[in-house]
Amino acid sequence: LSGNVGKESSGVNPLRGQNNVQGACDMGALPNVYPGYQSVSEENVRKKFEHAWGVGLSQKVGLTAVEMMHAAEAGKVRAMYIMGENPFLSDPDINFTRKALRKLDFLVVQDIFPTETSEYADVILPAASFAEKEGTFTNTERRVQRIKKAIEVPGEAKADWEIISDLAAKLGYPMKYRDSSQIMDEIASVTPIYGGISYERLDEGGLQWPCPDRSHPGTKFLHQGRFTRGLGRFHPTPYREARELPDEDYPLILTTGRVLFHFHTGTMTRRVKGLEEIHPQGLVEIHPLDAEKLSLKDGDMARVISRRGRVVARVKVTEISPPGVVFMSFHFKEAAANLLTIDALDPVAKIPELKVCAVRVEKCTL
């Protein structure tokens, strides 16, 4: 509509929460697609992957992360294998998440450090960090970049692909990969948008997909001259209110997010002394007008309460938060913001409403 698609330095560029979200999605870490966004429900796609992998595959679309938790709580999912994720802190409504995970018959956690989730695991598999393995990251501009091993793997830890290969072999499906470059070659063979990407080419610099063959330079920006489907199609979307809005009992909106000095649930960054000294605790950020109404001052302790849980955190009075809105980060288990959040999902992408729920704030003394 504004002419900002199909030309350099424009278009839609989602700001990802982690450095390889794009790459994980590209590789099929979504419930409805194989690598390269090839639909699991299309028969010709399924047959291609069955031939490549030598197994029969289901056409059934899987579950999202939040849907998995509901299925576990209902007894429909009885085992989980969680890699590099800490849902005991990162999922919405973590009281429900914890209840669901405790109902599992068997839980495997594969991670580089112990986490709140791994405390409930039946088996913990130690994985290699980014600095201890070979591989690629794909960033939000679709640029596939090489990462190279810088230090040796400690103890019994292994790269993720090695752990999965070993496990597959024990389950009767040998994966005879020599190294991660061989996996990259397989990706190229079954994923058209990665068809021309190899470690050899990436050693010369990153490549942006689509990159269909070895002679292709990569695609700097998408939709030049036309959309993939031809003309663009506009979809009017009616406004839909959040599932939970403020009322008399819970008069404030809680929105959650990150702070500069910590990453996700703090599995790595909270082990860094310098970062902990700069930002050692979770805060509830509140506008001066709301703080005055609640007799709160900067540095006070406050209890934040929703329909799902309550946490205690130190108050930060700031005009960054608009009146009627409080902000908390989700890095800190001592003030776990996701005890408060709601797991309502949007109907299309199935993303939970982590940014909107109703709360009240009370002054408290410890």
- The pLDDT tens digits for 41-85 are 999 999 999 999 999 999 999 999 889 999 999 999 999 999 999
Distance CA(185)–CA(213), nearest Å, equals: 12
Q: Could you say which architecture CATH assigns to the domain 252-364?
A: Beta Barrel (2.40)
> Strand (E) positions, the chain?
33-34, 38-39, 79-83, 106-111, 123-126, 135-138, 143-147, 207-208, 252-257, 283-286, 301-305, 310-317, 325-329, 357-364
pLDDT tens-place string over residues 76-123? 999 999 999 999 999 999 999 999 999 999 999 999 999 999 999 999
pLDDT band at 2 (very low <50, low <70, confident <90, very high): confident
Q: Could you say which architecture CATH assigns to the domain 21-62+127-208?
A: 3-Layer(aba) Sandwich (3.40)
Domain with CATH 2.40.40.20 in the chain: 252-364
Task: Please compute the mean of the pLDDT values over residues 273-280 and round it to a whole number.
Answer: 94
Average pLDDT over all residues of the chain: 93
Distance CA(250)–CA(294), nearest Å, equals: 13
Distance CA(27)–CA(40), nearest Å, equals: 13
Q: Tokens 């050692």 correspond to what residue? A: 280
- CA-based nearest residue to 127, from 141, 117, 113, 138: 113
What is the pTM assigned to this prediction? 0.88
**Cβ contact 261:278 at 8 Å:** yes
pLDDT at 138: 95
pLDDT tens-place string over residues 211-244? 999 999 999 988 888 887 788 788 888 888 999 9
Domain with CATH 3.40.50.740 in the chain: 21-62+127-208
pLDDT at 232: 79
Task: Please compute the mean of the pLDDT values over residues 176-188 and round it to a whole number.
Answer: 95
